[in-house]
Structure formats: C-alpha cells, structure tokens
Amino acid sequence: MATDRLSVRKTYKLYVGGDFPRSESGQSYPVHDRDGELVARAARASRKDLREAVRAARSAFPGWSGATPYNRGQVLYRVAELMEGRRDQFVEEIHRAGAKDPEAGVDASIDRWVWYAGWADKIHHVLGSVNPVAAPYFNFTIPEPTGVVGIVAPPDAPLLGLVSRVAPAVVSGNAVVVLASEPWPLPAVTLSEVLATSDVPGGVINVLTGHTAELVPWLAGHMDVNALDTAGVPEDLLPQVDELAAENVKRLVRADGDADWFADQAESPYAVTALMEMKTVWHPIGT
C-alpha cells in the first residue's frame, strides 16, 4: 500500500584528515536545487575548522609528496574508478544544480582524474633538466610540489570545476584544503565520500563547506598555506586576497572560467606546473 512520506534530508559534514567531523560552529546552511526546493543542509565551516584542515594537510604532505609518482598516479586512477561506480548519483546532483548536460559533465570529471593521473610520472621528466655550466659540476633542475594548497572551487562548476583544480594540485604531491561551491556543495561532499573509500591518504584532500566570503580571507591569510587557487573567489574579494597572501609570499593561481570553460579547456599540464617549485642542485664531477 502506497503511503505519503517525507524524504530524509541529510545534514552533511566536513571532510578533514580522512574523517567526517561536524563543524566546530555547530551551524549549517540550507542547500536548494535549481527549482528552489530544499535538498539538504551543509555544514557551515568556521575559522577553527579551516585551521584543522590546514593542519591535517600539512601532516599528510610529507608522506604524499614522498610517495613515488607512479603510486600517486595509481591513487588518482582509483578515484576515477570509484566515481564511475557512483556515476548516477553524481549525474542526479549535477542535474538538480541546473547543469545543461549533467552526464557529459560527470563523464568529463571522471576522465579528468584519469588524464591527470597519467601526468604523475611524466611531469618531472618534462620539466626537469640537466643544465650546462662553466664549472666542474653537474647542475640539475628538479620540480617539487609547493606544499599545502588552498583551493576555492568555482561556484558554477561544482564538480567538474572542482576536479579540474584539485587533480592537478595533488598529482604532483601537494596536499589541499578545498572550499566547496557555496550554492551547490553536494557534488563536493559526495566526492569526499569517494575519497574516504579510495586510496587517497587522509589529509591529502580536505573538503570544507560554508560561506565563501567568511572562509576565503582566513585561507588567504593562513601562514602555513603555501599557495592559493582563487578560481572561485568573487571579484570583490580578490584585492583583499592579494593583500593577505602577500604576508607569506603565497603563490596565487587563478582560472577565469565558467562551467563551459572547465568543460572544454581546463585540461592542461600547466595546471600541474603552476603549483610546483623548481629546485636546482649542484653536484661536483669526479672523485
């Protein structure tokens, strides 16, 4: 016998250090779909939550950056495998957000993990070099990960835009703190559930939900964040971000693209190299 019932709406949590803690603030905010229907409530991360996420990323960085490039590529490929298994859920979430072609967007997101996984053991050979010097030395230039990277996800590309910024950041060995799309964070939360069951070590990717205007200044000014991807930072906040980032000479990277740009043009090895440092090593020749 059919009965009328209310659907169970979830109150989502954060993803920090491989766990799903509640927000320290104890607050959440409503998430509505394109038709204005209340779908769920997302945790409203606080400044303390952000600090904990940065601490988790810093703790995970040595192990992740020290893993072999081949292993990091395998881990990213595993994320794509698990996303494939939850494809229908991602499609439904992107559809409710109002995407023009949700299936194509989800497929591109999965493929993007695979594409960047392929760069894991190649980027060092492409960028590294042996430099000629007028002295009895070998001179090598070697790329290294930057460290802890903050990523502000694009609000109008909540899955593909997020993956397009996170995958190139972590494939080189960086650990990241992600601020999910404020109006539609559900794909980011679902992705964090995928990450929790994948081979990605806890703390390598941390996902926060909340109000962008509240969290961005704290992320930009945090002294233990080495770089910041400002793809989802509103234009009116960029001057403040520039000023705060200058305090510790934080690297700023920006992709000025909408959902169509991420679908068509975001796949680039330069997204990987933008968050790497170049180290030059001198080694004497002979005995």
What CATH number is associated with residue 126? 3.40.605.10
Structure confidence by residue, pLDDT tens digits, 192-211: 999 999 999 999 999 999 99
AA identity, residue 243: E
Question: Quick check: is 9 in a domain?
Answer: no
Query: Which long-range contacts link 249-253 to residues 24+ away (Cβ below 8 Å)?
Result: 250/220, 250/225, 250/226, 251/146, 251/226, 251/227, 251/275, 252/227, 252/228, 253/227, 253/228, 253/229
Give the range of the structural domain holding residue 202, as residue numbers without chain letter.
Answer: 28-284
Residues in the chain, overall count = 287
Residue closest to 108 by CA, chosen among 96, 99, 97: 99
Q: Is residue 21 part of a domain?
A: no
What type of residue sits at position 1?
Answer: M
In a domain, 20, yes or no: no
CA-CA distance, 206 to 178, in Å (whole number)?
Answer: 6
- pLDDT at residue 262 in the model: 62
pLDDT per residue as tens digits for the range 32-70 = 999 999 999 999 999 999 999 999 999 999 999 999 999
Q: pLDDT digit string (tens) for 253-282? A: 987 665 555 665 567 788 888 899 888 888
pTM value is: 0.91
When divided into structural domains, the chain yields a total of: 1
